[in-house]
Amino acid sequence: MRVIGVGDNVVDKYLYKKMMYPGGNALNFSVYAKQLGMDTAYLGVFGNNQAANHIIETLQSLEVDITHCRKLVGENGYASVDLIDGERVFIGGNEGGVQKDHPIILSKQDLNYIKTFGIAHSSIYSGMELELQKLKDIGILVSFDFSNEYNDEILENVCKNVDFSLLSCSQLQEGEVEKLLKRVHSYGSELAIGTMGSRGSMVYDGQEFYRQEPYFVQPVDTLGAGDSFFTGFILDYLLAKQENTNIPKAVLLKRSLGKGAKFAAKTCLVEGAFGCGISF
């Protein structure tokens, strides 16, 4: 299966040690899928500063296809991370940098390229909500990470164009997560996935809830855990469906959740979302 991330990229700047690491929901999906053996691509907007050049060089070294990306004059997106009471905390950024003023507008050429992939993944930080209908219209599967930046209006408008919705739910009680995932499914998503931090994750398929405990490790850095969990989960699920296995859906979802949790634990053993840091 070929997969593509479409949307945000940033560098995560760790202020307390003056190191920055490539990241961003859409970009992370492409890199994690590559780590899992997929043929992957990324389509996004780069600036023309040191951060942008480092991301580009990193993706090239990882053999992630970036031939359809845009590179514009301006500052690349970044997020600032600091250490507060022993916890890494996001404390600001530049709201996507050059991407904020020049979000991705998918051309016919872009769409012809994207439809050669099995799934396209984007996020709430990509400024692409109005472009998702184009992806659905070309018949490709679409996944979308809402992080914790959602309300009912956003969900109703976006989920109708999204097959697999991922939401950060660590701030919610379990009963609230169930109600939220039911609502997401009712708005059009085939699978609604909620991540709950140390409490693990939950998936709703329209009939049943499936829960997954995290695989506990001594983490080096939890950045990227949600993205890697989702990537491991959804790719295992889709590959099994593509291969027309006779695994019952409930068994497959439980297996795929376990694969996602194991991959997330592995991600927590490296600095940044997937390493590749440089000083700044």
Dihedral, CA of residue 276, residue 222, residue 162 and residue 100, to nearest 10: -60
44 Cβ contact partners less than 8 Å away, ≥ 6 residues apart: 5, 6, 7, 8, 9, 24, 26, 27, 69, 70, 99, 104, 126
pLDDT band at 86 (very low <50, low <70, confident <90, very high): low
Domain that holds residue 42: 2-279
Mark out the alpha helices in 152-198 (DSSP H runs).
152-159, 174-186
Pairing of strands 87-93, 119-123: unpaired
- Give how many domains the chain has, as a whole number: 1
- Tens digits of per-residue pLDDT, 94-132? 999 999 999 999 999 999 999 999 999 999 999 999 999
For the chain, give the percent of residues with pLDDT over 70: 99
Single-letter code of the amino acid located at 82: D
Point out the least confidently predicted range of 19-33, 83-97, 244-258. 83-97
Find the CATH number of the domain harbouring 263. 3.40.1190.20
Structural tokens at position 70: 């845009």
Answer for the pair 84, 16: CB distance below 8 angstroms, yes or no. Answer: no
- Tens digits of per-residue pLDDT, 43-69? 999 999 999 999 999 999 999 999 999
What integer pLDDT is reported at residue 246 of this predicted model? Answer: 86
Nearest to 26 by CA among 99, 108, 107, 133: 99
pTM of the model: 0.97
| DSSP conformation letters of 230-260 | HHHHHHHHHHHHHTT----HHHHHHHHHHHH
- Tens digits of per-residue pLDDT, 252-273? 999 999 999 999 999 999 999 9
The rounded distance, in Å, linking the Cα atoms of 127 and 74 is 17
